[in-house]
Amino acid sequence: MKFDWAENWPQFAEAFGQTIYIVAIAMGVGGIVGLVLGLALYTTRRGGLLQNTAVFTVLNVLVNFIRPIPFVIFLTAVGPVTIAITGSRIGTEAFIVPAAIMASFATSRIVEQNLVALDRGMIEAARSMGASPLRIIFTVVIPEALAPLILGYTFIFVAVVDMSALAGLVGGGGLGDFALTQGYQRFDWAVTWITVLVIVALVQVVQFVGNSLARRVLHR
């Protein structure tokens, strides 16, 4: 009773679509919210553009509070939020809510990390021209840290793809769930690895794009 590709092709295609959907939205939302959070961590940290110990401490603790919670527990805990947003705790959309939140927090650390060692001379130059902190962030800090940021986002992309395999927890589908339920749980290694290969291919494409962008941005 092995998997019948010919017959179940639409099921696979649907899972593929779900993964794209989950990853696109979780990355989109998580990427932006994570950027904001990461910038907040960077700017409020000691010696930052808007040094503010109170804000930094709260954010720092919050991010560390959320990140280590086992995902299925976190997903259950944010259920009420999910219901408020999507009307249900189950289904693809319902999975995206906790996934996007988790992605945001993870991204915030990646962003922070990539900005923290930025050369202060050019930030001083911008300050000396009277540029506001917000302007400095968007016109100096981000452009100057773009290469590592791109690689950081590529990292997060892979993490989100990996996380999307958990969508099955709430009936969210996706390729990861497909590999698990149609392959792994049925001990059908062909299905498992074919699906995993598709996921890997997706990741390779994005990494390739990320690498080329980073290289271009480094002007080598």
Partner 1 sequence: MSEIIRLEGVHKSFGEGPGAVHAVEDVTLSIDRGEIFGVIGYSGAGKSTLVRLINGLETVTSGRLVVDGAEISAMREKQLREVRPEIGMIFQQFNLFPSKTVAENVAYPLRVAGWDKARREARVAELLSFVGLADKARARPTQLSGGQKQRVGIARALASEPKILLADEATSALDPETTRDILGLLRRVNAELGITIVVITHEMDVVKYLCRRVAVMERGRVVELGEVYDVFSRPRQDVTRRFVGTSLRDRPSPEVLARLAATHPGTLVTVGIQEDTGSSARLMRTLGEHEVDGAIVYGGITEIGERPFGSLTLALTGEDEAIRRALADLGGYTTVQEYPELEELKR
Partner 2 sequence: DAAKGSEDNPVKIGVVGSSDPQWPVFKDLAEKEGIYVDIQNFSDYNQPNPALADGDLDLNQFQHILYLAQYNEADNQDLTPIGATAVYPLGLYSQKHTSVEEIPQGGEIAIPNDVTNQARALFVLQEAGLITLKDGAGVVPQPADIDAAASKVKVTPVDANQTVVALDSVDASVVNNDFLKDAGLDANDALFADSAESEGARPYINVWVSRAEDADNPTYTKLVELFHDPSVTEAVKDASGGTASIADQPASELQDILTEVQGSLK
Q: Say which entry of a second copy, partner 2, partner 1, none residue 216 contacts (CB below 5 to 8 A, set by partner kind).
A: none
Rounded-to-integer distance, Cα 31 and Cα 135, Å: 20
Should residue 194 be labelled a site residue for partner 2 when binding is judged by CB under 8 A? no
Interface mask toward partner 2 for 153-192; x: CB under 8 A: ---------------xxxx-x---x--xxx-xxxxx----
Contacting residues for 48 by C-beta, under 8 A, at least 6 apart: 42, 56
Minimum CB–partner distance for residue 105 and partner 2 (Å): 22
When the beta carbons of 8 and 113 are compared against partner 2, the nearer one is: 8
| Nearest in space to 165 (alpha carbons), one of 189, 201, 192 | 192
Compute the distance between CA of residue 61 and CA of residue 156 in angstroms, rounded to an integer: 21
With beta carbons less than 8 A apart as the criterion, state whether 81 and 97 touch.
yes
Report whether 14 contacts 178 (CB < 8 A): no
Please give the structure tokens belonging to residue 6. Answer: 């010919």
- x-or-dash pattern for partner 1, window 109-148, by CB under 8 A? ------------xx-xxxxxxxxx--x---xx--xx-x--
CA 58 to chain centre: 22
Q: From CA 210, how far away is CA 3, in angstroms rounded?
A: 35
Rule CB under 8 A: say whether 148 interacts with a second copy: yes
Query: Which DSSP state fits 185?
Result: G
> Which stretches of the chain bind a second copy, using CB under 8 A?
45-47, 60-61, 64-65, 67-73, 76, 106, 109-110, 112-114, 116-117, 119, 145, 147-148, 151-152, 154-155, 158-159, 161-162, 165, 176, 179-180, 183-184, 192, 196, 199-200, 202-204, 207, 211, 214-215, 218, 220
Residues contributing to the site for partner 1 (CB under 8 A): 121-122, 124-132, 135, 139-140, 143-144, 146, 217, 219
